[in-house]
């Protein structure tokens, strides 16, 4: 019997969605384990991993367990990790002096990982918030009302040189101080570390989604408040053009990779920077993005695996070349199982 509703269509886009094979042939965005960077939290001592309640499935790792995790990630095809220390509160002060100790936890962690997994790319955070008693990313002005930009940059430059000497492949200044990329580049070159790359946190927004991360490194409690105000140095979430100003400056100062943080809520910024630069773009799917997906999945409102994949595909589709994500291990394992 003829179909009375038959449409005389030349173009039927559904033809290429009909089977899994056809869909794969025309897939535009492909996510690979090599696209993922695993952020890892390191603690001192030799104790068991410390679960982070606000980040399900994520733990702080002592150096021996950190090395084991890095080996496991490498076997899954993940080529890079980003290390973040949680130091003893007794080592913190207003100047963040522990950041410049030659026996600093992060330096010992870098050396251990590079010895055990020499082919793994290691990047480290260059900022003072894990080290300061007030929780800010730099040292404060004399009146305590703001972060002292230029004095902070001097400390960060020394910190970057120490990290490079320990063997990191990329230093990643996340502090958002003016001029810090150029100063770090000059300091690295002067110390003979011309091969150490800089991944600049180019567009790091003053987001409300950083809470679980601050729990992980201890900066929220150290500051005494979850509402730590970093708006005098991080970007205004309402601003788009400002990101392009930061991009031009970071490129001119010698950044090798530029980053957008957070990722999921700032896909327009990722896309805009993709059109504006030929530099590789990193995007950081931050702790709040990770934890909210887990929370909704635990309540049965979302499918964890499907939302995990979709969130990362969206970031890659927007233009990111690499994604820092706490889903890295699980996502890489899933991708390796795919036919």
Q: Supply the residues annotated as catalytic.
A: 204, 261
- The Cα–Cα gap between 141 and 148 comes to 5
**Beta strand segments in the chain, E:** 36-43, 50-51, 59-62, 80-85, 121-126, 170-173, 197-204, 257-261, 281-284, 322-324
- The Cα–Cα gap between 321 and 85 comes to 25
- For residue 148, give both structure tokens: 């002292």
Under 8 Å between Cβ of 318 and 270: yes
Bridge partners, residue 280, by sequence? none
- The Cα–Cα gap between 190 and 184 comes to 10
Q: What is the DSSP letter of 235?
A: B
- The Cα–Cα gap between 11 and 25 comes to 18
- State the burial class of residue 236 (Cβ atoms within 10 Å of its Cβ: 0-12, 13-18, 19+): exposed
- The Cα–Cα gap between 159 and 180 comes to 12
């Amino acid at each position: 019997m003829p179909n009375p509703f038959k449409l005389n269509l030349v173009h039927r886009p559904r033809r290429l969605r009909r089977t899994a094979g056809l869909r794969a042939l025309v897939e535009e965005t492909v996510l690979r384990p090599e696209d993922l960077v695993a952020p890892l939290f390191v603690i001192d001592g030799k104790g068991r991993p410390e679960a982070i309640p606000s980040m399900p499935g994520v733990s702080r790792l002592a150096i021996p367990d950190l090395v084991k995790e890095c080996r496991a990630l490498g076997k899954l095809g993940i080529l890079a990790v980003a290390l973040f220390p949680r130091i003893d509160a007794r080592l913190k002060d207003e100047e963040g002096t522990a950041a410049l100790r030659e026996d600093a936890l992060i330096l010992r962690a870098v050396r251990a990982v590079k010895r055990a997994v020499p082919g793994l790319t290691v990047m480290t955070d260059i900022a003072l918030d894990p080290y300061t008693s007030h929780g800010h990313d730099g040292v404060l002005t004399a009146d305590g009302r703001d972060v002292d930009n230029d004095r902070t940059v001097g400390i960060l430059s020394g910190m970057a040189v120490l990290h490079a000497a320990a063997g990191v492949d990329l230093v990643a200044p996340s502090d958002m101080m003016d001029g810090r990329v150029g100063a770090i580049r000059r300091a690295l070159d002067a110390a003979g570390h011309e091969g150490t790359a800089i991944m600049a946190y180019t567009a790091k927004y003053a987001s409300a989604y950083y809470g679980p991360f601050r729990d992980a490194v201890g900066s929220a409690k150290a500051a005494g408040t979850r509402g730590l105000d970093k708006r005098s140095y991080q970007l205004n979430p309402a601003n788009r053009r400002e990101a392009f100003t930061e991009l031009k400056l970071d490129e001119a100062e010698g950044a090798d990779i530029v980053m957008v943080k957070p990722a999921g809520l700032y896909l327009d910024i990722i896309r805009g920077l993709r059109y504006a630069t030929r530099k590789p773009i990193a995007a950081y799917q931050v702790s709040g993005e990770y934890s909210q997906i887990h929370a909704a999945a635990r309540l049965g409102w979302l499918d964890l695996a499907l939302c995990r994949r979709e969130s990362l595909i969206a970031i890659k589709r927007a233009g990111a070349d690499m994604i820092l994500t706490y889903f890295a291990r699980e996502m890489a394992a899933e991708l390796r199982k795919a036919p």
